[in-house]
Amino acid sequence: MNSVPFALYAVALVAYVWHFAWRNPAVGRAATTALVFAALSHTFVIGMQTVAYGHVPIAGPTSFTSTFVWLLALAYLYTEMTTDERAMGVFILPLLVALQVIPAINPGVESRSAVLEGPLFGIHVFSLLFAYASFALACVIGITYVLLFKEIKAKHLGFFYARLPSLQILDRMNQGVVMIGWIFLTVGMIVGAVWAAQAGNYAPGAPQVPVMSLQDPKIFVALICWGVYSFELFAARRIGWGGRRTAYLSALAFAIVLLNFVPISYFVPNSHKF
C-alpha cells in the first residue's frame, strides 16, 4: 500500500521542481494538489494499518519512518497554505520521496510488545516524530537561507532572490521551528526516560525490548541532537548568532537526526527498534 503514496510524492516532486524553475502558477497549484492527494493516500494507508494492528504504526523502524513522512508532508502543507509560499517544496519533497522509498520497498510487519502499549510510549514516540518533522523543516529553511545569502553576497540577484522569502523572514522561521522541535524533543526524551523506568528496564517476559542506556546508539544520537539544538537556541538568543550560523547548525543537526532513521535503525544491532 505504501507504493501509492510514494508514487504520488514523486509526481509532486516533479511538479515542484518544474514550478521552482519556471514559476508557473498553474504548475504550482498542480504541485500542491499532487501533494494533497499524496498526503490523503498516505493518511488512508496509515488508517488501514491502524485498523489492522489496533494502534497507530509507530513501533517499528519502517512504520516510524512512514509516519514521520506523513507528518512532515502535513506540516509542510500547513506551512505552504498559511504562507502561500511554494518555494520550499522543491527542498522538502526530495526528503519525503527518499524516506518513503523504505516503506514502499520493505513494508515490514508491525510487532508491538505489551510493554509498548501504555500511553507514555505513544507520547514519547509522537513527541519525537513532531520534533523530527520540525527539524526537517528547519533544515530546509536553513538550506534556502544559505543559498539566498550566497546569491546576495555575490551581488547577483537572480534565481533564488526571485523565488525565496527574505533573509530576515527565513531566519525568524528557522528559529521558531527549531524552538518548537526542541520543545517536543525535550518532552519526548523526558517521557521516554519515565516510561523506561516504569517498564523496569525491562521485564524478562519481553526479551525483544532492550535495556535503555547510553550504549544504545539511538539514545546517544538523540542526546547529541538535543545538545546541538540547545546550543543553537542559546547562541541565537544569548551570543547573537543568527543567519548563516544557525542555518548551518540546523542542517548539521538534522543530518545527525537522519542517522536514527536508516543507518542506526537498520544496520546497528544493539539499538532499540521502536
pLDDT digits (tens, 9 = 90+) for 65-99: 899 999 999 989 988 888 888 888 999 999 999 99
Name which of 44-48, 64-68, 154-158 the model is least confident about: 154-158
Where in the chain are the domains? 1-112, 119-274
Residue 209 pLDDT class (50, 70, 90 cuts): very low
Per-residue pLDDT, averaged over 239-262, amounts to: 88
Report how far residue 3's alpha carbon sits from residue 45's, in angstroms, rounded to the nearest whole number: 10
- For residue 16, the model assigns a pLDDT of 96
Q: How many CB atoms lie within 10 A of CB 104?
A: 20
Instruction: Give the closest residue to 78 by CA, choosing from 26, 133, 128, 144.
Output: 133
pTM: 0.84
Say yes or no to pLDDT of 143 above 70: yes
Report how far residue 201's alpha carbon sits from residue 117's, in angstroms, rounded to the nearest whole number: 15
Instruction: Give the closest residue to 258 by CA, choosing from 233, 214, 209, 224.
Output: 224
- In angstroms, what CA-CA distances link 189 with 113, 135, 226, 261, 263? 20, 15, 9, 17, 21
Say yes or no to pLDDT of 205 above 60: no
- In angstroms, what CA-CA distances link 171 with 84, 161, 242? 18, 15, 7
- For residue 239, the model assigns a pLDDT of 87
Instruction: Give the closest residue to 111 by CA, choosing from 189, 43, 55.
Output: 55
Contact predicate 200/210, CB 8 Å:
no
- For residue 271, the model assigns a pLDDT of 64
Residue 247 pLDDT class (50, 70, 90 cuts): very high
- For residue 97, the model assigns a pLDDT of 96
Average pLDDT, the chain: 85
Per-residue pLDDT, averaged over 52-64, amounts to: 78
Is 173 strand, coil or helix? Answer: helix
